């Protein structure tokens, strides 16, 4: 799934080239890294990218390893349940008996071997039972920026991994609640990585989102009739129900299973995540690009090409420069960047910066 706006990474991230098309962490775009870590587990012809029309050319540019037909653009965004449904139709057209994984395009995972091993186990669960499988990340801190998965009893053991039933999904908690989750040992972070068979997810869509499923059935009928996909989606996709797969299905279904991810994971959700992946100087300043610091501490600088950022006597700031915009933000206000982007969008003359 590669259609997000990446507004929290403005001004580097723009609608046509958002976070997953940028090397936020690492030398390659986040989407390219996501595909690279699947090499060996899945052939390229089995990897499909769901993006949007604004990002289609950018995705094609960073995914030369994929067949062009495997990069499909939604004409409009209808949230993740519709994206799941579209992906299901594309996989079903090739193999109705297949199992499939839905993976976000912009997570950072370094341990590709452990990642593939966990996915392989998840595929075995999905292929052997009518289960909606999710990979849960073991919490390392009482994070308030992630959703949580509460584990129930162990249902099975596959590849020496415990396969847990899921009691419930929890929205992003406050700090005290997150501490309780961490202490209990019953909770995983919800990384938004799902594995299921075509048959199982199709049944779940029919049960929990019948209106959406009806719209997907119309698209499927058009595909079977030999209609070209792009005009077919342009005609029917905007009419699909707009709802997230978590809210529509995962929070309601009784056949959800989870297994513990044994790999490192970071969703790199906003600029402060840079601190976790780049070295800091003795005063805690982190620099990606060219910057100089005098009597400064605990700043993050991401400087554009051939752009020097010189900072004097400041602390706890985020500074990001591009060719046409500069962001200066207090680190503890990073969540407000998204609101600023929307504010810029209210001014016609500034929409070019989005």
Closest by Cα among 223, 221, 200, 204 to 212: 204
Q: Indicate the pTM of the whole model.
A: 0.93
pLDDT score recorded for residue 82: 97
pLDDT score recorded for residue 5: 87
Count of alpha carbons within 13 angstroms of residue 11, beta-carbon side: 22
From first to last of its 354 residues, the chain has per-residue pLDDT tens of 998 888 999 999 999 999 999 999 989 999 999 999 999 999 999 999 999 999 999 999 999 999 999 999 999 999 999 999 999 999 999 999 999 999 999 999 999 999 999 999 999 999 999 999 999 999 999 999 899 999 999 999 999 999 999 999 998 999 999 999 999 999 999 999 999 999 999 999 999 999 999 999 999 999 999 999 999 999 999 999 999 999 999 999 999 999 999 899 998 989 999 999 999 999 999 999 999 999 999 999 999 888 999 999 999 999 999 999 999 999 999 999 999 999 999 999 999 999
Taking the C-alpha atoms of residue 27 and residue 283, their distance in angstroms, rounded to an integer, is: 26
pLDDT score recorded for residue 52: 95
Taking the C-alpha atoms of residue 281 and residue 165, their distance in angstroms, rounded to an integer, is: 45
pLDDT score recorded for residue 145: 87
- The domain made up of 7-261 has a fold known as Spore Coat Polysaccharide Biosynthesis Protein SpsA; Chain A (3.90.550)
Taking the C-alpha atoms of residue 308 and residue 215, their distance in angstroms, rounded to an integer, is: 52
pLDDT score recorded for residue 304: 84
pLDDT score recorded for residue 215: 98
Taking the C-alpha atoms of residue 92 and residue 24, their distance in angstroms, rounded to an integer, is: 34
Neighbours of 183 (CB within 10 A): 10
pLDDT score recorded for residue 190: 95
Closest by Cα among 39, 32, 49, 164 to 113: 39
DSSP letter string over 180-200? Answer: HHHHHT-EEEEEEEEEEEHHH
Taking the C-alpha atoms of residue 194 and residue 25, their distance in angstroms, rounded to an integer, is: 24
Which residues, 6 or more positions from 127, have their beta carbon under 8 angstroms from its beta carbon?
99, 197
Place of tokens 């009806």: 214
Neighbours of 109 (CB within 10 A): 20
Which residues, 6 or more positions from 283, have their beta carbon under 8 angstroms from its beta carbon?
293, 296, 297, 298
Q: Residue ranges per domain, the chain?
A: 7-261, 271-353
Closest by Cα among 265, 241, 254 to 193: 265
Please provide the size of the chain in residues.
354
pLDDT score recorded for residue 306: 85
């Amino acid at each position: 799934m590669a259609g997000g706006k990446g507004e929290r990474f403005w001004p580097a991230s723009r609608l046509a080239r958002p976070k997953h098309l940028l090397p936020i962490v690492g030398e390659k775009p986040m989407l390219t890294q996501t595909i690279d870590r699947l090499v060996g587990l899945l052939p390229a012809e089995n990897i499909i990218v769901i993006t949007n029309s604004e990002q289609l050319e950018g995705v094609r540019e960073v995914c030369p390893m994929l067949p062009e037909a495997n990069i499909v653009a939604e004409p409009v965004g209808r949230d993740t349940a519709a994206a799941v449904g579209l992906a299901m139709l594309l996989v079903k057209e090739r193999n109705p008996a297949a199992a499939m994984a839905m993976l976000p395009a912009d997570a950072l995972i370094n341990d590709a071997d452990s990642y593939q091993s966990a996915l392989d186990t998840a595929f075995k669960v999905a292929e052997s039972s009518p289960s909606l499988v999710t990979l849960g990340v073991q919490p390392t801190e009482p994070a308030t920026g992630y959703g949580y998965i509460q584990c129930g009893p162990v249902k099975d053991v596959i590849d020496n991994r415990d396969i847990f039933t899921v009691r419930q999904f929890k929205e992003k908690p406050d700090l005290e609640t997150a501490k309780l989750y961490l202490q209990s040992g019953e909770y995983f972070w919800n990384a938004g990585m799902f594995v299921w068979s075509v048959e199982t997810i199709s049944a779940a869509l029919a049960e929990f989102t019948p209106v959406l499923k009806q719209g997907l059935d119309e698209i499927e009928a058009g595909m079977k009739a030999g209609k070209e996909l792009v005009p077919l989606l342009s005609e029917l996709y905007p009419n699909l129900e707009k709802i997230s797969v978590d809210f529509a299905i995962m929070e309601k279904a009784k056949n959800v299973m989870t297994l513990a991810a044994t790999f490192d994971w970071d969703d790199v959700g906003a600029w402060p995540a840079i601190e976790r992946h780049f070295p800091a100087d003795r005063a805690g300043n982190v620099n990606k690009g060219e910057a100089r610091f005098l009597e400064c501490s605990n700043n993050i600088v991401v400087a554009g090409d051939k752009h020097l950022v010189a900072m004097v006597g400041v602390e706890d700031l985020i500074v990001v420069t591009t060719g046409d915009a500069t962001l200066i933000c207090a680190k503890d206000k990073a969540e407000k960047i998204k609101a600023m982007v929307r504010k810029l969008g209210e001014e016609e003359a500034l929409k070019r910066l989005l």
